[in-house]
Amino acid sequence: MYHDEALDLNKGIDPNEADEWGLDDADSKVDGGADTKESKGGHDTQSRDWMLTIRAEGHMENEIKALFEKIGAGAVFQRETGADTGYEHFQCFLQVKTPMRFSTLKNHLTNAGFRDAHIERRRKSVADCVAYCTKSETQAGQPVYVGKINMKDKRGQRSDLIGLREQILDGMSMQEVLLGDSGAKAAHCTRWLGELEEAYVRKELGGKLRDIDAHYLYGAPGVGKTRFVYDRYPIEDIYRVTNYKHPFDEYGRHKVLVLDEYDSQLPWEQLLNYLDRYPVVLPARYRNHQACFTAVWIISNLPLAAQYPDIVGERRLALMRRLADCNYMTPEGELIKEPLPGRQEGGSP
C-alpha cells in the first residue's frame, strides 16, 4: 500500500516510502522547481516511463491532458486529495515512445507551465504505477487516460541495447549501426552485435535458395579484368578475395563475390558449393558468415582448362554447369566469349 505522505510535497516524502518506490527523499519537496536527485551531479537519466506529481492549485486537468497528448505515447492521471493533509495534486504516470532524458521532460513541463512538477523515473512495474495513479482512496476526480499504455514491464532492460538490437532486426548491418552510433553506445558490444547480425541473416537467408550468376574471366596481367568487374556493380556490394588462407574473415552480406588472382586455391567441392544456389555458410576465423551473394566472378591469368587439371570427366562438368559464361580479355581490353565444355550455346547442360 502506498501512503499519502509520499505525495505530500509540503513536508517531503517519507524515507521508508522513498525506499519502496526508489524515490529520492532528499529532494522530494517541490518548492517551485522540478529538480530531483536524478538531474543533479551530471546524472541526466533517461527513461520511457515517468511518475509525476503536479500541484492542483493553478493547473487544469485539460492542460495536463494536452501536454501528455503532445509528448506521450500513453498516460493516466487523476486529481487526488491527501487523506491526512488535504493536499490537492494530480498523480500522473507518463509513458513516452522512446527514452527521454530527465532534462528534456523537465523542459517540456516548464514550457507548458508545470514548473512545480515533481518527476521520478518509474521504479515499480507499469501495472503498479497505473494502479497507484487510479487508486480510489484519495480520488478527487475520475482517472483520465491518454493514448495507449504499454503494460509490458521492461524494468531492468537496457534501452541502449534494445535500440541497437532493433536496428539490426530492421535489416541494418553492423557497419551501418556503428557508423550511425554518434553516442558510442555500441563501443563495448561489437561482438554481440556481430553475433546478432549473423543470427538475423542466417534466419532470413539460411532457408532460401539464391539464383547465382557465376562467370569466369581470364587474361594477361594488367589488361583490366578486375576493373571490368568493379565497373559493373556498386563498390560497396563487392567482396574481393585475394588472400585464400582466410578468404571470408571480413565478409558481410556483400552481393558480389570476386575470387581474384584465382589459381585453384579453394578445394574443389568448396568452390562448387559457393557457386550453387543452395544456402551455404562461409567459414571464418572469428565468426562464420551466411552467404548472401548472388553474383560470383572468378578472375584469373589462367584459362579455365588450367584450373583443377586433375578434375576430369563428369566431375569437371559440375563446374561447367554452374558457370554462366567464360570470357577471355584481350590486351586491348576486349572480351571474347569462349564455349564451356559440356555446355550447349545458351547455357544448357
What is the residue extent of each domain of the chain?
4-147, 159-205, 213-338
pLDDT 10s digits, 326-347: 999 999 999 999 999 876 544 4
Q: What is the CATH number of domain 4-147?
A: 3.40.1310.20
Range list of β-strands (E), the chain: 46-55, 74-81, 88-101, 118-121, 144-147, 213-219, 238-241, 256-259, 281-282, 289-290, 295-300, 323-329, 335-338
> Which tens digits make up the pLDDT trace of 176-229?
888 888 878 788 788 888 888 888 888 888 888 999 999 999 999 999 999 999
Statement: the pTM of the whole predicted model exceeds 0.85:
no
* Per-residue pLDDT at 300 exceeds 90: yes
Statement: residue 150 has pLDDT above 90: no
In sequence order, the 6+-apart residues with CB closer than 8 A to the CB of 238 are: 229, 230, 254, 255, 256, 258
* 44 touches 103 (CB < 8 A): yes
Domains 4-147 and 213-338 alike in fold: no
- Residue holding cell 551530471? 42
Cell numbers given for 170: 530492421
CATH class belonging to 213-338: alpha beta
- The C-alpha cell at 269 is 567441392
CA distances from 268 to 115, 217, 327 (A): 74, 18, 21
